[in-house]
Amino acid sequence: MTTPAEANQNPTRQHATRQLHLNAFLMSTGHHEASWRLPESNGLAGTDVAHFQRLARIAEAGRFDSIFFADSPVLGGDVGRRPSATLEPTVLLTAIAAVTEHIGLIATASTTYNDPYNLARRFASIDHVSGGRAGWNVVTTAGDEAAKNFSQPGQLAHFSRYERASEFLDVAQKLWDSWDDDATVVDKASGVWADHERVHAINHEGEHFQVQGALTVPRSPQGHPLIVQAGSSEDGKNFAAEHAEAVFVAHQTLQEAQAFYADLKQRTRDLGRDPESIKILPGIVPIIAATEAEARLLEQQLEDLIQPEFARQRLASLLGRSPASLPLDEQLPADLPHEDAIEGAKSRYILVVELARREHLTVRQLIGRLGGGRGHLVAVGTATQIADTIQTWFESKAADGFNIMPAVLPSGLQTFVEQVLPILRARGLFRTEYAGSTLREHYGLPRPQSRFAVERSLLGASA
């Protein structure tokens, strides 16, 4: 493996066969929970469409593969202490599609609190509106609070949520295939708008869903929107190995990331899929300045703005404890539940507890560590140091790219584009121009064939 130091000595070195995939994870004023308190931050950014359009254009100017919006169908946190208003992301993506041309558009949507037909229709519509740039981050949504917004007393069990998600995605993909690519003929002379034999009822009868179809939307430019997954529990990894084309994940150490990368690639291979058909993108929160000391100062300024009592309440909710049981200047209690007993956000619970135990952090220190990226890697330093970290993880088979999560927006994204990307390009690690027009092309993934067209072809060949 070429080291970052060697790459700096030979900045024109080219990586002919493998380049980074970069996604910009956008979140109102930034990923640091105190970013909204900075003088320059827009406290109403969460519902400001122009703010997100500007961020998307910055990311597109940097030739990012995609932008991404997380989502939850529950009002999270204490609205008295931090901005909590968020727009529904699939609606927001249509506004961003209108002011961009190339960048991929990914949004989270839950398989637990939707039906396949409405979500398949929505993402196919976004793919049409954007000219083939839609991606769906498939989540199962943990927590009793969300369940109570949908007439349910509490969340489904972890395994049950993933069982439902697998069937949900299967139905959605059938619906995306329910129109053949050549179904619409628009023959004005004969008065035939579409070939009805090439529009298919899917007639799905399953454990969770019974769906007739066909979809109201013709097959979209990508065939299927890009499928993204963001869980790293055992159930999550199994789901990703079977279905995902990109995976957003949180890791604190290179060794953890390498182990996850090798494991998920092997699970994908075991299911008969090409391991290169799934792109693994850990999250990284870059805090960049001219010197490392200045970057550390920026990090400390943000950490000083964290409200410990509010942060402790959120930590307590994740751990299933009362805030009073987590004294700020003591380490986590020894009697926390075993990970097997967690039915909520299992992978994030494991990450946080392991981080606290490994580094012997007090609750106050843990809150500080989580404030920047909720468990994602926080990289603090110069642009060259950030590029070195990205290159090391990429070339050490810990990542196929990164989920870039600026601590403060828009300044953090602008700095990354202006200072870090030129270094990565000089090392041959990242594109200078878009090579295609669709999100699948950005990620180097093929356009899926319609299952109904494949069946018809097979029947024709056997006739």
- The string of pLDDT tens digits covering residues 271-301 is 999 999 999 999 999 999 999 999 999 999 9
Per-residue pLDDT averaged across 321-346, rounded?
78
> Which of these ranges, 49-53, 141-145, 388-392, 456-460, has the smallest mean pLDDT?
456-460
What percent of the chain is modeled with pLDDT above 90? 68
Tell whether the model's pLDDT for residue 75 goes beyond 90.
Answer: no
The per-residue pLDDT for 7 is 41
Tell whether the model's pLDDT for residue 73 goes beyond 70.
Answer: yes
Per-residue pLDDT averaged across 218-228, rounded?
98
Tell whether the model's pLDDT for residue 51 goes beyond 80.
Answer: yes
Per-residue pLDDT averaged across 376-400, rounded?
97
More reliable by pLDDT, 76 or 412: 412
Per-residue pLDDT averaged across 184-200, rounded?
95
Per-residue pLDDT averaged across 148-163, rounded?
90
The per-residue pLDDT for 71 is 94
> Which of these ranges, 101-110, 132-141, 318-327, 434-443, has the smallest mean pLDDT?
318-327
**Average pLDDT of the chain to the nearest whole number:** 90
Tell whether the model's pLDDT for residue 457 goes beyond 80.
Answer: no
What HEC string does the chain produce?
Answer: CCCHHHHHHCCCCCCCCCCCEEEEECCCCCCCCCHHHCCCCCCCHHHCHHHHHHHHHHHHHCCCCEEEECCCCCCCCCCCCCCCCCCCHHHHHHHHHCCCCCCEEEEEEECCCCCHHHHHHHHHHHHHHHCCCEEEEEECCCCHHHHHCCCCCCCCCHHHHHHHHHHHHHHHHHHHCCECCCCEEEECCCCEEECHHHECCCCEECCCCEECCCCCCCCECCECCEEEECCCCHHHHHHHHHHCCEEEECCCCHHHHHHHHHHHHHHHHHCCCCHHHCEEEEEEEEEECCCHHHHHHHHHHHHHCCCHHHHHHHHHHHHCCCHHHCCCCCECCCCCCCHHHCCCCHHHHHHHHHHHHHHCCEHHHHHHHHHCCCCCEEEEECHHHHHHHHHHHHHCCCCCEEEECCCCCCHHHHHHHHHHHHHHHHCCCCCCCCCCCCHHHHCCCCCCCCHHHHHHHHHHHHC
Tell whether the model's pLDDT for residue 356 goes beyond 60.
Answer: yes
Alpha carbons 283 and 37: distance in angstroms, whole number: 23
Q: How many CB atoms lie within 10 A of CB 245?
A: 21
The per-residue pLDDT for 462 is 59
419-422's contacts with Cβ under 8 Å and 24+ in sequence apart are: 419/288, 419/383, 420/286, 420/288, 420/383, 420/386, 420/387, 420/390, 421/62, 421/63
Q: How many CB atoms lie within 10 A of CB 191?
A: 6
Tell whether the model's pLDDT for residue 260 goes beyond 50.
Answer: yes
In which band, very low, low, confident or very high, does the pLDDT at 373 lie, cut at 50, 70 and 90?
low
> Which of these ranges, 103-112, 140-149, 255-264, has the smallest mean pLDDT?
140-149
> Which of these ranges, 102-111, 128-137, 225-234, 303-312, has the smallest mean pLDDT?
303-312
pTM: 0.87
Tell whether the model's pLDDT for residue 11 goes beyond 50.
Answer: no
The per-residue pLDDT for 15 is 39
- Identity of the residue numbered 105: L
Tell whether the model's pLDDT for residue 243 goes beyond 50.
Answer: yes
The per-residue pLDDT for 345 is 65
In which band, very low, low, confident or very high, does the pLDDT at 319 lie, cut at 50, 70 and 90?
confident
Tell whether the model's pLDDT for residue 76 goes beyond 80.
Answer: no
> Which of these ranges, 229-238, 244-253, 420-429, has the smallest mean pLDDT?
229-238
Tell whether the model's pLDDT for residue 346 goes beyond 90.
Answer: no
Per-residue pLDDT averaged across 305-317, rounded?
80
How many angstroms from the chain centroid is the CA of residue 394?
A: 18
In which band, very low, low, confident or very high, does the pLDDT at 328 lie, cut at 50, 70 and 90?
confident
The per-residue pLDDT for 3 is 42
Tell whether the model's pLDDT for residue 227 goes beyond 90.
Answer: yes
Tell whether the model's pLDDT for residue 32 goes beyond 50.
Answer: yes
- The string of pLDDT tens digits covering residues 159-189 is 899 999 999 999 999 999 999 999 999 999 9
How many angstroms from the chain centroid is the CA of residue 57?
A: 19
Per-residue pLDDT averaged across 393-408, rounded?
97
